[in-house]
Structure 1
Amino acid sequence: MDWNKTKTIFIVVFSILNVFLYSLYLNRHTEAQNIQVIGTTSIEDSLKMDDITFDTLPIYKKDSSHISAKTAEFTNEQVRKLENQTVGIINGTQIQSKLQTPISIKNAKGDFTFTEFLSKYVLKGEEYGLWKVDKEEREAIFFQKVNDGPIYFSPNAMLTVHFDEDGKATSYEQTMFDDFVSFNRKKDLLSPIEAIGSLFSRGYLKQGSTVKDVTFGYSILAQMSETQLFAPTWHLRVELKNGEIEDHFINAIEGKIVEFQPETLEADHE
């Protein structure tokens, strides 16, 4: 047997096979892109039929992973450094603080501003983002952030600041996670327009409504003893025809609707 000739034949055959497989891949990739474009166009057309509009959609990362974290345990050494406050630690995982002298959280125009308060009086305060200010209850609620995205409505990742009638902070409660770890491989995310389409197809978007904001964050997926697993999540803020605001949340990988307790959804960014 002529092994050189046989080897040459094998090389040629495998080269042709590689070219064929690559060509097949390109064709399927192109078809998938075309389907995606058609699907996106269909979503926009469907929205127009129901007079549903949306503001400018955010630039987003096309893939992400689940993350895990452990509930943080606070130490006396940590809270001892906090100034102008009497601090108690509840069950090792919650800070309860009463400010000795109330601190103004309003600017010269009378608007609430929390940046200085968070950085000066709250442990790792820069890790929290404002969710709502409730003027009737005189409290401001913050969610802990990871990868610049809030962890929505986790009781173990919240900061609640109480203030008086003069707009001065008087006390707060704080919980947080630490030891964040990416869990499994990165997966493709729904685009913002696909998230809107998912809401629409399930009947959550009413005629004449406007999607005012689409933001990226995380929601609890599973509890594993002391560790919690979080899923990438889209938050869609929708303004109804009558001016009312609704908040919706969608798992950004699976496309499932994420439900929270109704009372926690009465949020108003200030």
Structure 2
Amino acid sequence: MDWSKTKTIFIVVFSILNVFLYSLYLNRHMEMQNVQVMGKTSIEEALKLDNITYDPLPPYKNDASYISAKVVTFDEEEVEELEGQSAVILGDTVLQSVLDKPETVRNSKGDFIFTEFLNKYVLHGAEYELWEVDEEEGTALFFQKAFGEPIYYSPHAMLMVYLNSDGKVISYEQRMSEEFVSYNRKKDLLSPIEAIGSLSNRGYIKPDSKVKRVTLGYSTLLTETLVFAPTWNVRVELKDGTIENHFINAIEGKVLEFQLDASDEEKE
């Protein structure tokens, strides 16, 4: 075996691989630069060409940063103090509970109001924010908040509430994080209009759509050390009335897609 020739081949192959990976990095970097270089007027003109409209965009402070946290290990004594329910801890980090009797969470107009339920039955319930109610599935999904903003679809910061056929709460499953700390220095964020422009440019927002809402939250960046990144949620109404939610990392510009895995759906 000609080791010298083999070594040369390895060097060439790895050089090509490095060039390829670097080109991918440059493409993503340039894409971000293009979005940020485009002025507000240019983005608005591009959206107008696709007949993409939007409601007034929210003011925002360009001071969000990465944050870190740790997963809550539920305490047996604290859980035993919960009233009106039977609760168990699974694997230290998951709390499952069944209420002694169904809890009404609808007002006289038929709207779901969970504030009293959260305060009465759920540990640190005020830290959770309602994301959506699926009456067909009989579930209500809540995201935990960090520094006042929701953490989107984190398996370590989520509350799933189960409803019976009358729309009353019968049980829930809770996961939680704590000790949130700003991580790294503050970085410039994509503005709401830049987030919309980026999603439209990449085909995520279809022509003839209307952006109904743009809100800032967080999404998981690293699962091993539990680091979250500032993230825009852009809610869009399509021409046929369908609602879509898009998520984009507010610092790196990466489009994110979330999905509860099968095991979580079965549990939750």
Question: Above 0.5 in TM-score?
Answer: yes
In structure 2, C-alpha distance between the alignment counterparts of 1:122 and 1:262, rounded to whole Å: 22
- State how far apart, in whole Å, the 2-side matches of 1:53 and 1:92 are: 47
- Residues 135-214 of structure 1 correspond to what in structure 2 (within 5 A)? 135-214=135-214
Using structure 1 for the length normalisation, give the TM-score.
0.81
Select 1:252's aligned residue among 231, 243, 250: 250
Deviation at 1:167, TM superposition (A): 1.9
Query: How far apart, in 2, do the equivalents of 1:234 and 1:38 lie?
Result: 19
SS at 1:82 equivalent: coil
Deviation at 1:37, TM superposition (A): 9.1
Which structure 2 residue ranges, 5 or more long, are not aligned? 1-34, 263-268
Percent of pairs with identical residues: 61
What RMSD over aligned residues (CA atoms) do the two structures have, in Å? 1.7
Distance, in Å, in 1 between the alignment partners of 2:207 and 2:108 is 40
Q: Cα distance, 1:63 vs. partner?
A: 2.1
Alignment correspondent of 2:19: none
Shift of 1:125: 0.3
Give the stretch that moved more between structures: 252-261 or 42-51.
Answer: 252-261
For residues 220 and 235 of structure 1, the distance between their equivalents in structure 2, rounded to whole angstroms, comes to 14
> Which structure would you say has the larger Rg?
1
Specify the code of the residue in structure 1 equivalent to 2:194.
E
Aligned residue for 2:3?
Answer: none
Number of aligned residue pairs: give it: 228
Residues in 2 aligned to 1:36 and 1:101: alpha-carbon distance in whole angstroms: 53
Cα offset, 1:109, TM superposition:
1.6
Normalising by structure 2, we get a TM-score of 0.82
Residue 108 of structure 1 aligns to a residue whose secondary structure is: coil
Q: What is the rounded CA distance, in whole Å, between the counterparts of 1:263 and 1:130 in structure 2? A: 20
Cα distance, 1:44 vs structure 2: 0.1
Indicate how the Cα distance of structure 1 residues 120 and 109 shifts in structure 2: closer, same or farther if over 3 A, else same.
Answer: same
Q: Distance in 2 between matches of 1:233 and 1:73?
A: 26
Q: Which runs of 4+ in 1 moved over 3 A?
A: 35-38
Per-residue CA distance 1:36-75 (angstroms, 9 max, x = gap): 7961100001111111101111111112110011110001
Report if the CA contact (8 A) 2:36-2:194 is conserved. Answer: no
Q: Matches of 1:111 and 1:41 in 2, distance apart?
A: 40
Partners of 2:105 and 2:260 lie apart in 1 by 28
Q: How does 1:45-84 map to 2 (within 5 A)?
A: 45-84=45-84
Relative to its length, the structure with more strand (as a share) is 1
